[in-house]
Structure 1
Amino acid sequence: MRTSTRTGGPAARIQARRPDRGRRFPPLVTWVLLVAAGLGGCSFSPEPVAPPPRPQQPVLERPVEPLVGSYRADRVTGDFAGYASLERFIELMASRHGLDRAYLNGLFSQARRRQWTLDYLARSDREMKGPPAVGGWSRYREKFLDARHLDAGVAFARRHRAALERAGREYGVPPGYILGILAVETNFGAVLGRDRILDALTTLSFDYARRSAFFQSELEQFLLMARQERLDPARPRGSFAGAMGLGQFMPSSFRKWAVDFNGDGRRDLWHPEDAIGSIAHYFARHGWQAGQPVVTPLNASTTVDLQAGLDTRYSLGTLRRAGLSPAAPCR
């Protein structure tokens, strides 16, 4: 659920195989199939065909309530002292959302500049300028389809079976796909990230010029999220890019798609039940079609030469003209 700092994908040739050979799946689907095979005695109930997404109660703004924490200063000190861009951001948050300037001065005086993050992204940007790496999802197979992930997935599914089944009923998303997201993002909560979200987003907002607008928007959403959820904004921890919880939601995604699935009055994506419901809700609100296949293998009568990549799209007619036909009916 993270927003990657890299976009696009390598262009590659599709080498289609003969019917019934070389059947391949995306990593998430393969992971889901293997987890399902390993669940054994904790098989899930049959999924509904097309349940409607659960209607969400609106999350109300609380403009009269201050942010949590005893932060207050006349000006920003510390690592971000003297940043004109931060001063403009504080003024925007005060005028647009009614946040207290003195509070924000004190809060950002506690923020720490993450040089490691900037160095990492600088290396990543340099790599993007070089020739693209050739390969597909199979490069990631060994990272996720191992005993550690599979054992953790089985244990997680057993512990949270009721929540997974309820998410399937209410949102139409089978448990296996929710488990797949949790496996790839945080290994079911084992790797949640150690960076303070405040440090990560402040560093990227004001010292990473290439995507400063994006991260300033996420920092804005993070502060609003903290106000809504009554959180001290200096406390949440997550990834170096500001993603949070078991599903690694960015703040904007948190505010739009996170749900209080365990009914305790808070949206807490570090809690497994809320993470399960929020992932299912995210799917449901992004065009998930309950009961429909995620992938369909293709049969080919010849070698097919087509460009691939994350942004590549082909109509069924184009694929047929290239000599490819679905191995199963497409609905």
Structure 2
Amino acid sequence: MIDDSRTRVLARPFPPRRCQALFALVAIAFLAAPAAAAVHPGQAELVREVARDTGKDPAALDALLDRAQKQQSILDAIGRPAEAKPWSAYRPIFLTEQRIDDGIDFYRAHRALLEQVGRRYGVEPAYIVAILGVETSYGRVTGRYKVLDALVTLAFYYPPRAAFFREQLKTLLELPADHLAGPLDTLTGSYAGAQGWGQFMPSSIRDFGVDADGDGRIDLQGSLPDILSSVANYFARHGWQAGGPVAARAQPDAAARPIEAKDARPQWPLEQLEAWGYAPLQPFNPGEPAGLQTLAGANGPEYWFTFGNFYVITRYNRSPLYAMAVHQLAQAIEAGAGPADPAP
């Protein structure tokens, strides 16, 4: 037989005064307890590093990070990037009539500034415009996530690329206020923590952001001179060659050697690719360094020679699909915008 006397004792209701006393003791213990650990794993170490490197107040950094929220929708989004699609599905996302027409209108509306920036950095204006078109539809869709939420989520809760996003979060916390469009806890951007019309990550703001309007702030959300100059500076610093080729169709023969490129870096002189069975459909310097990309088009494989400037676009986003979309959008915008009106 089981002795249930203890059970019966525990089941008896406490007298009201005893309950009040018990609640008071719990409250006192709670208030006297040491401060809770950092909200996010790894936060304490990150705060120590930033405070050490910048002299910023650790308590203020902790308070800022404590307010950041892990967002499951960010983890879901990074698991299904558009770049995972085949070219036949990716191209229609960005090469729409609306995006082309909007790009032409943007180019025409800001032609003087675009051409000034293009001359200064040696980057064709249509490619600057195309970056803005692919990234944010010319500044209309810059992202709805809080940048701190995005970077905290990916730095602390996304193991596949945690090291990269932790470094971006650290950089964001270290950036001086005059490198940002506003206070840290007000910034919004993409699910990956990219900001502004050109979707710059914190390290890109640090390394390539430009205060082109001379107001003492790099504002990639509200200053068009800063936005355009920063994109152009990014291209120039990565080796863009003004007037250089970007990409061109290739025609393989029946015995063409299969080629699998690891990335978009130009690896062979064009004449070598021709010797392997890939003919250019327009004349090029036979010694021009080139790569070969095979894209899954709507009507079967598409073969493309890609050159140094194509590789530069992949420094903005490493996907060859992205670079091809930027290239084709730029071509359509340039053709549609036409030459500048002659001076009266």
- Is residue 321 of structure 2 the alignment partner of residue 321 of structure 1? no
- Is residue 214 of structure 2 the alignment partner of residue 257 of structure 1? no
- 1:244-269 Cα offsets, whole Å, 9 max, x none, are 11111100011100111222221111
2:239 counterpart residue number: 287
1:166 counterpart residue number: 116
Letter in 2 for 1:96: D
- 1:49-81 Cα offsets, whole Å, 9 max, x none, are xxxxxxxxxxxxxxxxxxxxxxxxx9678xx62
Q: Secondary structure at the match of 2:186?
A: coil
Q: Shift in Å at residue 163 of structure 1?
A: 1.5
293 and 219 in structure 1: CA distance in 2 versus 1, 3 angstrom threshold: same
| Matched-pair contact (CA < 8 Å) for 2:194–2:202 | yes
Match among 29, 35, 47 for residue 90 of structure 1: 47
1:207 counterpart residue number: 157
Q: Shift in Å at residue 94 of structure 1?
A: 1.1
Q: Shift in Å at residue 307 of structure 1?
A: 3.2
- Is residue 180 of structure 2 the alignment partner of residue 235 of structure 1? no
Q: Shift in Å at residue 180 of structure 1?
A: 1.1
Q: Shift in Å at residue 173 of structure 1?
A: 0.7
Letter in 1 for 2:133: A
Moved over 4 A (4+): 74-77
Match among 263, 277, 281 for residue 311 of structure 1: 263
247 and 293 in structure 1: CA distance in 2 versus 1, 3 angstrom threshold: same
Q: Shift in Å at residue 300 of structure 1?
A: 4.5
Letter in 1 for 2:173: L
Letter in 2 for 1:153: G
Q: Shift in Å at residue 299 of structure 1?
A: 4.6
Letter in 2 for 1:286: H
Q: Shift in Å at residue 116 of structure 1?
A: 1.4
1:152 counterpart residue number: 102
Letter in 2 for 1:289: Q
303 and 248 in structure 1: CA distance in 2 versus 1, 3 angstrom threshold: farther
Q: Secondary structure at the match of 1:306?
A: coil
For 2:153 and 2:252, locate their aligned partners in 1 and report how far apart those are by CA, in whole Å: 50
Superposition CA RMSD, Å: 2.6
Match among 120, 129, 132 for residue 182 of structure 1: 132
Q: Secondary structure at the match of 2:70?
A: coil
- The structure that is strand-richer by fraction is 2
Match among 204, 220, 229 for residue 269 of structure 1: 220
Match among 87, 101, 107 for residue 58 of structure 2: 101
Matches for 1:30-49 after TM superposition, within 5 Å:
none
1:11 counterpart residue number: none
152 and 253 in structure 1: CA distance in 2 versus 1, 3 angstrom threshold: same
- Which is greater in Rg? 2
Q: Shift in Å at residue 200 of structure 1?
A: 0.7
For 1:115 and 1:226, locate their aligned partners in 2 and report how far apart those are by CA, in whole Å: 29
| Matched-pair contact (CA < 8 Å) for 2:155–2:163 | yes
Letter in 2 for 1:237: T
Q: Work out which structure has the larger RCO, using CA pairs closer than 8 Å and 6 or more positions apart in sequence.
A: 1
267 and 228 in structure 1: CA distance in 2 versus 1, 3 angstrom threshold: closer
Match among 195, 198, 206 for residue 145 of structure 2: 195
| Matched-pair contact (CA < 8 Å) for 1:76–1:109 | no
Q: What is the aligned residue count?
A: 248
TM-score where L is the length of structure 2: 0.65
- 1:192-241 Cα offsets, whole Å, 9 max, x none, are 00111011111111111221111110011111224343641101110011
- 1:94-131 Cα offsets, whole Å, 9 max, x none, are 1122111111121112111112112333x449x99xxx
